[in-house]
Amino acid sequence: MSDPVLLFDVADRVATITINRPDRLNALNDNVFELLADAVARVQTRDDIGGAILTGAGRAFVAGADITELQAKSPGEALKLSRRGQEVFRHLELLEKPVVAAVNGFAFGGGCELAMACHVRIASDQAKFGQPEVKLGTIPGYGGTQRLPRLVGTGRALQLMLTGDPIDAAEAFRIGLVNAVVPPEALMPTARAMLDRMLANGPLALGACIDAVHRGAALPLDEALAMESAQFGLMAASADMREGTASRCRRRGWSWWARTARARRTCSRRRTTCRSCAACAARGTWTWCGSARPGSTSRGGWRTAPRSRWDSSARPGASA
């Protein structure tokens, strides 16, 4: 029996997701995308998971797309693969629980794009990064042309994409592509320590920060600021903020996880786990949140503001 292509382990509220194709340098293909999509969904919906670490087996994080499979695809199939990869990476990026990329080795092409879709990137000092697609006569297809300029600036991004040259971890840190560089033996402990620091904070606030940053980036500043204010107001209605501010004022400790673990229920209308939506928290109940309706964005069960208020697909004056 062959080894599983993707490993999914959970310990102490942290899911460790390992792409396990070391003989292919963890290259991405249709099967890997489907397994990643399933892993992201499990992280989002499982109550015993607060965040995730994403890494690769062997000497690569992900060395890019599987070229042997890619060269056999028709233009239509290549388009479909690109859209599927973008969809999976976008779901990862918008996950309401923090994801740390532990980049252990080569992160080329789709591997670099996958790392950029994570919320924080920790790199081994032996890691290499690059977008070498032009050397194959193509371009990044999983979001690299959009995320790389946002992280490192247009000039540096174009240099990396137009030359196809790789950079080492030290240079990736210097230009802002990664958050920290550590020795190989310290990579997973450092990623775990970073995630533990995040999980010590309010879970609703973590999800709201991620949502505001990534969705706000696609909006004009005034609309993004309005979205931030709306999120801030929702937090003020939540039990998380009430307990958090009370604990700080009283200078006593508080376990966010213990409260949310006790409070979670299954939403009878949506048939999904309600993670502590602000309206439900304000009522002291954990059932259907009446402010949600068709067209709402309610990923994970707590954010229920109408799409037309701040979603980039809406236009001023659109009805809710």
* pLDDT tens string 56-81: 999 999 999 888 888 888 999 999 99
Residue 240 is predicted with a pLDDT of: 72
- 112 with 140, same domain: the answer is yes
> Quick one: average pLDDT of 198-206?
90
Q: Which of 199, 231, 248 is the last residue of a domain?
A: 199
Residue 247 pLDDT class (50, 70, 90 cuts): low
Whole-number Å distance between alpha carbons of 253 and 295:
39
Residue 50, in any domain of the structure: yes
- 217 with 280, same domain: the answer is yes
Residue 232, in any domain of the structure: yes
Whole-number Å distance between alpha carbons of 280 and 301:
10
* Residue-wise pLDDT tens digits, 271-291: 344 444 444 444 443 332 333
Q: Which of 170, 199, 228 is the last residue of a domain?
A: 199
Residue 254 pLDDT class (50, 70, 90 cuts): low
- 169 with 222, same domain: the answer is no
Residue 77, in any domain of the structure: yes
Residue 311 pLDDT class (50, 70, 90 cuts): very low
pTM of the model: 0.78
Residue 1, in any domain of the structure: no
Whole-number Å distance between alpha carbons of 127 and 102:
10
Residue 77 is predicted with a pLDDT of: 93
- 171 with 248, same domain: the answer is no
Residue 238 is predicted with a pLDDT of: 76
pLDDT at 232 over 80: yes
> Quick one: average pLDDT of 290-294?
34
- 144 with 247, same domain: the answer is no
Whole-number Å distance between alpha carbons of 113 and 123:
14
Residue 184 pLDDT class (50, 70, 90 cuts): very high
Residue 317, in any domain of the structure: no
Residue 302 is predicted with a pLDDT of: 35
Residue 214 is predicted with a pLDDT of: 92
Q: Considering only 88-92, 170-174, 221-225, 251-255, which range has the smallest mean pLDDT?
A: 251-255
Active site residue 87: no
- 179 with 212, same domain: the answer is no
Residue 271 is predicted with a pLDDT of: 39
Residue 213 pLDDT class (50, 70, 90 cuts): very high
Residue 180 is predicted with a pLDDT of: 98
Angle at 42 between CA 37 and CA 45, to 5 degrees: 125
Q: Is 164 left (phi over 0), alpha (psi -120 to 50) or beta?
A: left
Residue 296, in any domain of the structure: yes
Helices (H), strands (E): how many in the chain?
Answer: 14, 12
> At 86, which CATH number?
3.90.226.10
Q: Which of 184, 199, 214 is the last residue of a domain?
A: 199
Q: Which of 133, 185, 228, 243 is catalytic?
A: 133
- Kind and range of the H or E run holding 153: none
What's CA 146's distance to the chain center, in Å? Answer: 15
Q: How many domains does the chain have?
A: 2
In order of 24, 101, 245, 281, the CA distances from 44 in angstroms are: 28, 17, 26, 19
Whole-number Å distance between alpha carbons of 27 and 300:
30
pLDDT at 309 over 50: no
- 165 with 116, same domain: the answer is yes
- 248 with 275, same domain: the answer is yes
Residue 276 is predicted with a pLDDT of: 42
Mean pLDDT of the chain: 82
- 194 with 210, same domain: the answer is no
pLDDT at 156 over 90: yes
Q: What Rg value do the Cα atoms of the chain yield, rounded?
A: 20
Cβ neighbourhood burial of 4 (10 Å; 0-12, 13-18, 19+): exposed
Residue 244 pLDDT class (50, 70, 90 cuts): low
Q: Considering only 63-72, 96-105, 213-222, 250-259, which range has the smallest mean pLDDT?
A: 250-259
- 192 with 216, same domain: the answer is no
In order of 187, 232, 235, 242, the CA distances from 245 in angstroms are: 34, 14, 11, 6
Active site residue 93: no
- 292 with 276, same domain: the answer is yes
The residue segments making up the domain with residue 258 are 203-310
Q: Considering only 47-56, 176-185, 200-209, 288-297, which range has the smallest mean pLDDT?
A: 288-297
- 185 with 208, same domain: the answer is no
Most confident of 176-190, 200-214, 299-313: 176-190
Residues whose CB is less than 8 angstroms from the CB of residue 265 and which lie 6 or more positions away in sequence, other chains included: 273, 274, 286, 287
